[in-house]
């Protein structure tokens, strides 16, 4: 763990649930007024239970606890845990429950993928780490090594902004539920609370310029392309080195072009990507874009010890204008076009060097560099599967009205 202190922010880099969960639990156990938690996966097996227990303890002593989970990533909580949370007073909402038709409806593909926790409006945790044990995968069971992922602990101005963002979503979800149940008076009260959160957002946005840390959202309203544009601007300004670690990497045309142009002007571009087979679509759809990147001189490393789940990048960490980001957004169409995401951007040499050191270590000890010639000569069956997955992804995006 490394602490960055800059402007009015203090930012701590955390690797994996093994570092994140104890830090979150400590803050929850000291909470005085409220805890806001949003996560794609809320799994109480193993170390995940420590977070659930901390929420229960906080609610039992009168702290307001709001928990939002995604309808696909989590779905319905196991009944024993659901009962315990409810009995303690933890208020739980499920973002976009699937309903009888499930994912057959394209509008259900818009998911809550961000991982955020705010305690007392004072401390923010943001990153790619779900409430999920590092050594457990819901689909693959016990993992041979901890999942590679990162988060940050933040104090400072942007915490209030993040809290207002979460508060607004909470009340909008409540309003929608009350409308569906024809409780219109309650829905109006919920919308007034959401409007108050919106007013708070405007106030903290005005305090944003000039900060060396910023909070970046991706949603389907005001912030549709904000995270991707931040990546492209940082890549365009790179002069020495770009390191990106991303679990599900299927960049669109503009992002691919930015990486190719950076490599061609002499910037060393290194990508740390998923080397283990996790999901058919994400694994195979990523590979058709490798060719043009390898041809431009981009180095691609595939991480193998466990699942790579990181969504981080660091640019020019050793230069004059370092830039880094830690968050929930993959560089693929699900994250960049459909999901709610959140990243923290940091412009600080100490923080960038620490993140860079973690990624360089991961590439050196747990990743193999992809050889361009071997990639070109991979078996025909793999090439067919890659093209099928890539084509299917584009077709599914077309159904949502998006081009990528």
Question: What are the structure tokens assigned to 383, written together?
Answer: 């090439």
- Residues pairing with 303 in the sheet: 274, 367
Question: What are the structure tokens assigned to 345, written together?
Answer: 């951007």
Name the nearest CA neighbour of 326 among 144, 148, 145: 148
Name the nearest CA neighbour of 145 among 366, 305, 361: 305
| Residue tagged 């992804």 (tokens) | 393
| Residue tagged 């203090």 (tokens) | 10
Handedness of CA 126, 98, 246, 19 (dihedral sign): positive
CA–CA distance, 220 with 174 (Å, rounded to integer): 18
| Residue tagged 């008076």 (tokens) | 185
Question: What are the structure tokens assigned to 115, written together?
Answer: 């991982």
Asked if 241 and 267 count as a contact pair (C-beta separation under 8 A), the reply is: yes
For 99-141, the DSSP string reads: -TTGGGSGGGG--B--EEEEETTTEEEEES--BS-TTEETTTE
Just list the catalytic residues: 113, 115, 120, 309, 311, 316
Name the nearest CA neighbour of 69 among 34, 42, 30, 35: 42
How many other CB atoms sit within 10 Å of the CB of residue 49?
15
| Residue tagged 């902004």 (tokens) | 161
- Centroid of chain to Cα 373: 33
CA–CA distance, 276 with 134 (Å, rounded to integer): 16
DSSP state of 370: P
């Amino acid at each position: 763990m490394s602490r960055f202190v800059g402007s009015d922010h203090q930012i701590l880099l955390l690797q994996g649930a093994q570092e994140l969960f104890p830090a979150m639990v400590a803050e929850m156990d000291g909470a005085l007024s409220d805890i806001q938690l949003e996560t794609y996966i809320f799994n109480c097996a193993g170390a995940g239970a420590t977070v659930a227990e901390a929420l229960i303890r906080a609610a039992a002593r009168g702290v307001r606890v709001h928990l939002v989970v995604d309808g696909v990533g989590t779905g319905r909580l196991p009944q024993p845990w659901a009962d315990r949370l409810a009995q303690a007073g933890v208020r739980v909402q499920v973002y976009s429950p699937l309903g009888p038709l499930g994912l057959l409806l394209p509008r259900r593909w818009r998911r809550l993928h961000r991982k955020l926790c705010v305690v007392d409006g004072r401390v923010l945790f943001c990153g790619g780490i779900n409430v999920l044990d590092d050594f457990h995968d819901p689909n693959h069971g016990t993992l041979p090594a901890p999942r590679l992922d990162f988060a940050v602990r933040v104090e400072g101005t942007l915490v209030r902004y993040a809290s207002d963002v979460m508060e607004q979503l909470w009340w909008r979800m409540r309003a929608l539920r009350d409308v569906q149940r024809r409780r219109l008076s309650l829905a109006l009260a919920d919308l007034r609370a959401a409007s108050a959160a919106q007013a708070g957002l405007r106030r903290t946005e005005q305090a944003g310029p000039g900060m060396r840390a910023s909070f970046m959202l991706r949603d389907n309203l005001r912030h549709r392309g904000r995270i991707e544009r931040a990546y492209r601007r940082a890549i365009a300004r790179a002069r020495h080195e770009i390191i990106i670690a991303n679990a599900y990497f299927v960049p669109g045309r503009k992002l691919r072009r930015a990486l190719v142009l950076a490599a061609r002007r002499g910037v060393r571009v290194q990508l740390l990507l998923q080397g283990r087979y996790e999901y058919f679509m994400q694994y195979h759809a990523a590979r058709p874009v490798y060719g043009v990147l390898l041809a431009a001189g981009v180095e691609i490393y595939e991480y193998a010890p466990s699942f790579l789940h990181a969504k981080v990048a660091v640019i020019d960490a050793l230069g004059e204008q370092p830039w880094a980001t830690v968050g929930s957004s993959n560089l693929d169409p699900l994250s960049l076009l459909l999901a709610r995401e959140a990243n923290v951007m940091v412009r600080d040499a100490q923080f960038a060097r620490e993140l860079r050191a973690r990624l360089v270590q991961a590439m050196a000890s747990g990743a193999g560099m992809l050889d361009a010639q071997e990639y070109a000569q991979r078996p025909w069956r793999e090439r067919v599967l890659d093209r099928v997955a890539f084509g299917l992804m584009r077709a599914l995006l077309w159904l949502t009205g998006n081009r990528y």
